[in-house]
Chain A
Amino acid sequence: MYKGLSSPNIHTPKNLGEYASIVLHYPMSTLWGGGTFIMTRPDAYPSKTMNAEIIYLGEVEELHRFQRNDRFAEFGAMVTLDEILSTGKTVLPKALTDNIQTIGSRLITRKATIGGTIATKGFTTSFPGTLIVLDATAEVRYMKKKRLHSRWMQITRLLDRNGRISLPSNGLISRVRIAFSEKNCHYFNEIGSFMLDPENAVAAAFTATLDQDILINPRIAFTYPLHGVCYSRDIDSIFSSLRFPLDDEEVDTLESMIFTFIESSFPDITPLQRTRTSGIMRQIIDDLNEKALTVPAEER
């Protein structure tokens, strides 16, 4: 059926030292984590590239480690989303667990890895946005002068000008550190399927501390799979200047300010994505209004 195909060479390093030597020999190789994104592309097989090299990271022991203390949880890049959910459901921030749960079946979360969801070529999953609002950091390993160097970076710093995650050439995310959040407002919503309908899907993640009627340290990120993550400190500072509850007029003004920014970053978002973004944003505002109007249990 597929006569004349060349089979990609698979390299299976057992540790990061072996990975480094393979990358030195084959700098153009593709990194393979869980493979959930690569395998769902319509042109995944047969491979169009001749002499393709694949580095399968599933056997690198360092990338499967998971540790936590009272301040943060640290996951190796090859820890699957299912493992994250089963080990840290009670302690991890709600925005992250909600994000994992929106993916749906464990048939997918058992294969998808945290590193793979961040560093997906030409596509943005809903995870970088969530990790940005959670102020997560990632350890990036990269080759410099034929040696493997490592550097901890905030996920925000990995975003390029177009809102996509960009790593140094031959770079690899080896660990992701997520701090246990003390914020009292966590929100994540995804409308539309990122994998099946990326043209129209939108996700938004939001975290903040609502103290009386103002937001402290709010962070909001919108994700459009084919465009990237829309995150700006300007939007965050608009949120921190608000006093809740907001009336309709204030919500309209806030919405137009946010859309001005989104459309300047991503002018090509579809009308459906625009409508969905507006819907998610209004849901967040409604939640915050409700919280601001509710008397805390200890004050009753």
Chain B
Amino acid sequence: MKIDCTIDGKTLTLSLNSDKPLSLILRENMGDDGAVNHCNGEMCGLCTVLVDGKAMLSCMVPAFEIRGKTVTTFDSFRRTRNMKDIEKAYESVGRYPCTECYASRSLIFESLIDEGITDPGEILKELSIVRCPCMDPEDEIMIVRRGIEIRRKRNVQRPQLA
């Protein structure tokens, strides 16, 4: 099956098995070995990617569902200004995720910051998918709130042209 999609800013036409999970596509077809885990549907949360800006578990997204969509992995996301906001939030709170879950947590933080979610219950619920115990819940809530503040300030300083 031929699938047109955008992965990490590259517009691609991939010839794939139609039900192949996105996590395997990124691993086998894109050579993104380290960044995306393939847990075979164990819901470990480590295979998180952004699909059209929303965090999703790539092991749950079949190839036919990414037709015409934009997939962003941590590999390209880490070079964006949005990641710099999240890094600033980590720095100001004084807490960083461990190397194992750094990518997935950062992408989920981005999804939360982008939606502007400040409710502690919702933040913790969304992050509960990552089972790594390296961060305290209070720190996660503070990082999201701080990230939203930083993003707002940046958007005020540099208003986008219509």
Contact = CB atoms under 8 A, between A and B. Distances in A.
A70 B40 CA distance: 44
A9 interface: yes
Given A108-B43, A108-B129, A7 B19 contact: yes
Contacts, number: 88
Contacts of A56: 64-65
Contacts of B21: 39, 44-45
Contact of B1 (A7, A45, A58, A106): A7
B127 interface: yes
Contacts of A104: 125, 128-129
Query: In this complex, which of A2, A47, A105 has the most chain B Cβ atoms within 10 angstroms of its Cβ?
Result: A105
Interface in A11-46: 12, 32, 35-36, 39-42, 44-46
Contacts of B125: 101, 104-106
A8 B16 CA distance: 11
B120 to A, nearest CB: 14
Contacts of B64: 10, 12, 54, 56
B30 to A, nearest CB: 14
A297 interface: no
A216 B117 CA distance: 40
B147 interface: no
A95 B16 CA distance: 42
Contacts of B5: none
Contacts of B16: 7
Contacts of A50: none
B20 interface: yes
Contact of B17 (A5, A40, A58): A5
B103 interface: no
B143 interface: no
Which of the four size classes fits the interface of chain B?
Answer: 20 to 34
Given A44-B41, A45-B24, A107 B57 contact: yes
A295 interface: no
Given A104-B125, A104-B129, A107-B129, A40 B60 contact: yes
B63 to A, nearest CB: 9
Contacts of B136: none
Contact of A40 (B1, B43, B56): B43
Contacts of A44: 19, 21, 40-41
Contact of B41 (A41, A107, A110): A41
A195 B43 contact: yes
Contact of B18 (A1, A10, A108): A10
A42 B42 CA distance: 8
A128 B24 CA distance: 32
B19 A196 contact: no
A7 B43 contact: no
Contacts of A1: 28
B104 to A, nearest CB: 10
14 contacts: A7-B1, A7-B18, A8-B19, A39-B59, A40-B42, A40-B59, A44-B40, A45-B17, A45-B19, A45-B24, A54-B64, A108-B60, A110-B56, A111-B60
Kindly list the 5 A-B residue pairs having the minimum CB-CB distance in the complex, ordered from nearest. Answer: A40-B41, A105-B129, A7-B17, A39-B60, A10-B64
